[in-house]
A and B are shown apart, each in its own frame.
Chain A
Amino acid sequence: MSHAPAVDPVEPAITTVFNGKLAMWLFLCSEVMFFSGLLGAYITLRLGNPVMFEGDQHLLNWKLAAFNTVLLIASSLTMALAVLAGQKKETSKQRMYLLLTALGGTLFLCLKAFEYSSKLTPGHYPEYPAGIFPSTSIFFAFYYTITGVHAFHILCGVIPILGLWKAAKNRDVSGETEMVGLYWHFVDLAWIFLFPMLYLI
């Protein structure tokens, strides 16, 4: 087994937490603000002007989104199991769970693309024969922005997970897996709030 080149360990900023984990938490704090800005704008504007938002939400496929919710929570489970396996040095288990997580994320993205496809082409919705675009209404401006930005976050998570799957074969990446795990759980967390706010309520 090849070892990573020796690196001078940097003194952790908080002695009981390794730097990478602290850094990821700080990054996730900024991500909370990011999504809160979007979701908060949606909530505020919609509560203040409910008439402007009327009539559009029922066009969304909430059943597909509910399945996506289940999918993402399941991928969070496999991610947590990957982190655990990594800490126990069970590398093949870790790699299996990492792959399952990446597959879950990829499937989410495919379903999202499918969800968008019928809207972006004309003729599927009698209410909007030309198609449904971000410019169609304020509700859909929020819908596309929020779900689009979230889908981008999923994509930006799947790529490192696949990278970890590959790297775990050659060296110990349990710490990095934990960091990416935190990010992945956050993206799931964001969806847990997004789903009812955009699709159900």
Chain B
Amino acid sequence: MSDVADHAHGEHPVVPYGLIFGALMVMTVITVAASRVDLGGKGLNVGLALLIASIKGGLVMAYFMHLKFEQRIIVGIAMLPFLLAGVLVLALFPDIVFGQFPIR
């Protein structure tokens, strides 16, 4: 596996891990605090929670998983399933969420 080690040794970008960790902590606090505040509409609460979670996730992927420093092909491969999953879930909304088929 020396080939593996050589490639790994080639890149160690300087990443402010502590800073990113701090940002993630702050956003966790915000997530909890925001959920305790009723934004007067379930959709807004869900939307805000998902937004904050996405930002946190983005930070983890960009800095901890080094996507910010990776080849574009890897970023593309990593992003694709989120798109597909989003389509998969949203495609079910017309029937199950907005539709006339209540689950009994």
Contacts and interface: CB of A to CB of B under 8 A. Distances in A.
A26 B74 CA distance: 9
Interface string B61-89: 10111000011011001101110111011
State the majority secondary structure of interface residues on A.
helix
Interface in B1-50: 1-5, 7-9, 11-12, 15, 17-18, 20-21, 24-25, 28, 31-32, 35, 42, 45-46, 49-50
State the majority secondary structure of interface residues on B.
helix
Interface stretch (A42-50, A107-115, A117-125, A142-150): A42-50
A192 B15 contact: no
A193 B98 CA distance: 24
A25 interface: yes
Contact of B8 (A18, A47, A186): A18
Given A88-B12, A200-B49, A29 B31 contact: no
Interface size class of chain B, counting residues whose CB lies under 8 Å from the partner chain: 35 or more
A74 B15 CA distance: 16
A16 B71 contact: yes
Contact of A80 (B15, B53, B102): B15
B25 to A, nearest CB: 7
Interface of B: 1-5, 7-9, 11-12, 15, 17-18, 20-21, 24-25, 28, 31-32, 35, 42, 45-46, 49-50, 52-53, 56-57, 60-61, 63-65, 70-71, 73-74, 77-78, 80-82, 84-86, 88-89, 92-93, 96-99, 102-103
